[in-house]
Amino acid sequence: MQKNIEIVLSPLLLPLVDLKGKTVVVIDILRATSTICAALDNGALSVTPVVSVEEALQYDKSDYLVAGERNGQKAEGFDFGNSPAEYAPSLVKGKKIVLTTTNGTKCIHASLDASEILVGSFYNLARLSEYLSDRDNGVVLFCSGWKNRVNLEDTLFAGYLAQSLSETHIWDSDEVELALSLVNKAQFDPVEYLRNASHAKRFARLGNHTDLPLCMQFDKHPVLVKYKGGKLVSSY
């Protein structure tokens, strides 16, 4: 049976889509969902996504690593920021993490009506595609964007994932066509294609020249990440 695939380009558009019975893949390539995949693949026990800095700071630091950012920078009083580079196995193995980010963690909470919530990034593209191909229900690819605006990197990734599902899924959606057209443009050098993305420019202003290429590595952390009981956990 062929299943439907939809793309939500920004959180503001989420109310237009019925999530019931569907699998949602939350996408925040730069950088929340990349970081979540890296942390879990590097041995973290769980990542608890929370909406506010205040909420994250309420977690007991003897039990949790407190992590996240606001406007791209580590929030005050936090142990970690939001770069996958920070989450080395030696630092996160066996640890529980609480994470809050400007866009990505909010989108996970906004998806609670879905029957299943997964996390997508270039790091786990093939694993995600394999899993979704075997499922019977419809899929919503939810791009976190930036403060409710559409962004290139999440839309591009949604295009790669939709392309990889083209034999098992169908769509009647200009959003999917748009995302696929970005894949066509970026095909041979997605990192170069994203150099003009607003988030790439934001990173450059912050002196961060490493996280764009770092987050664009295909299948570096082939982990299936599911939201269960308020936490994101890995399932291989």
Structure tokens at 142: 């939810």
Using CB under 6 A, which of 3, 31, 220, 221 touches ligand 3SL? 31
Interface pattern 128-157 for ligand 3SL (x via CB under 6 A): ----------------x-------------
Stretch of 8-16, 30-38, 153-161, 166-174 contacting ligand 3SL, by CB under 6 A: 30-38
Q: Is residue 101 a contact point for ligand 3SL (CB under 6 A)?
A: yes
Structure tokens at 69: 């950012």
Using CB under 6 A, which of 28, 41, 153, 154 touches ligand 3SL? 28
HEC string for 53-65? HHHHHCCCCCCEE
Nearby residues of 13 by Cβ (< 8 Å), 6 or more positions away: none
Structure tokens at 30: 């730069």
Minimum Å distance from CB 69 to ligand 3SL? 4
Q: How far apart are CA 171 and CA 115, in angstroms?
A: 20
Q: Is residue 30 a contact point for ligand 3SL (CB under 6 A)?
A: yes
Quick one: 23 or 103, whose CB is closer to ligand 3SL? Answer: 103
Radius of gyration (C-alpha) of the chain in whole angstroms: 16
